[in-house]
Amino acid sequence: MGELLDIIVIGAGPAGLSSAEKLAEKGFRVLVLEKEEKPNYEKLCAGYIPAPIFEIFDIPKSLVDYPVRGLKMITRDDEWIVECDDIAGYNVNRTRLAEYLASRIEKKGGEVLTSTTALRIEEGESEVAVACRDRSFKARVVIAADGAYSKIGGRIRGRFKIQDLGLTIQVKSAPSRRLTELTSKLNIIFLGGEFSPFGYAWIFPKKNHVDAGLGALASKTKGSDLRKYLDRVLEYYELKRISKDRYAPVPLIGPLKRIAKGRIVLAGDAAGHVSPLTGEGVKFALIAGSMAAEAVTAYLKGKIPLHKLEKQYLSKLEKSFYKRFRLEKLILKMFKEKKLTSSKLLKDRKMRRIIAELYLDKRDIQKLVLASLPRIFKILL
């Protein structure tokens, strides 16, 4: 089984790579296991990252595929554009980003093994054993950042219920003349029942292609053919598929408290670290991975006992984006109960800006909600 490592990270997505880099930087022996042939290979995600995250995590702008300065919102009856004074964020190729982060881990002494699937784990009194197909490893702590399908995550947090999940479908398409003529530095979202059973659709331009997709609450998709909804999105800008349609679940459960147990810590999609309202996950995965690393560091350096590891990690999450997630769950509930509709909100100019800033992650969600309350009450009345 070999030497005892300090940390094994399962999953080379943003959460896993963020935690692994921080831990390798501290001098710990870190191993990342990724089942795909490349880190975060072809994961289903539109890949928008708010501009401040590039600075916080020191991500070079050379990885940018497309700068985003505003949002175009489309309903069945109308279109609106909301532009920002500066660049709000960037669309990136997630595989390129993951490969770059993996290279930083290796430069700091960590190891990233691709095409290596963690089949089972066993927690002992002083270590965790991770069995792969043809070899095994052991470490003092395991960080499971292996996505919404995570079996390890299911054991710790419980299974995601259908009402806690979104279902997405996405495809790559070649840019059309109609799209390039009508948009510049804009991401596009489609709102309303014509484009999603209960959610929204999107077109996010990249360097050499366009990501088009839609998401909906899984509980609302029964009997729906999401491909037909996607066809409407593609037809709107005369886009042609250049890849197969792909489906993926998205946890929209909001803040979870069961995100660690013993020597195992969850981060990213495995811990439900996805915006319940927009489905955005990259930003929160990077942040959660960093916070998981901070809590694990405190334990490995003897500053806290093992039984305090979960509490320390949870405390960091509560002070970060968990408050936002609670507010988003409340807003989502209002939409589900039909107290709010996107069509009504979009007719109000100030609400359009608030919605755009929410999707672009331009302003703090709490400030946006406070700013929107007077407008919402006016619309409801």
Domain ranges of the chain: 4-47+94-160+255-324, 70-89+162-251, 337-380
Report which DSSP code applies to 61: G
Q: From the centroid of its chain, how far is CA 53?
A: 13
Rounded Cα–Cα distance for residues 233 and 170 (Å): 11
CATH architecture of the domain with range 4-47+94-160+255-324: 3-Layer(bba) Sandwich (3.50)
Nearest to 151 by CA among 107, 109, 196, 119: 119
Structure tokens at 379: 């619309």
Task: Output the CATH code of domain 70-89+162-251.
Answer: 3.30.9.10
Report pLDDT for 381: 55
Kindly write down the DSSP assignment for every residue of 221-256, as one continuous string.
-TT--HHHHHHHHHHHTT-EESS--EEEEEE-----
Q: From the centroid of its chain, how far is CA 120?
A: 25
Residue pLDDT tens, the chain, 381 long: 568 999 999 999 999 999 999 999 999 999 999 999 988 777 767 789 999 999 999 999 999 999 999 999 999 989 999 999 999 999 999 999 999 999 999 999 999 999 999 999 999 999 999 999 989 999 999 999 999 989 999 999 999 999 999 999 999 999 999 898 777 899 999 999 999 999 999 999 999 899 999 999 999 998 899 999 999 999 999 999 999 999 999 999 999 999 999 999 999 999 999 999 999 999 999 999 999 999 999 999 999 999 999 999 999 999 999 999 998 898 888 888 776 677 778 888 888 888 899 899 987 777 777 777 676 666 655
**In terms of pTM, does the model score above 0.85?**
yes
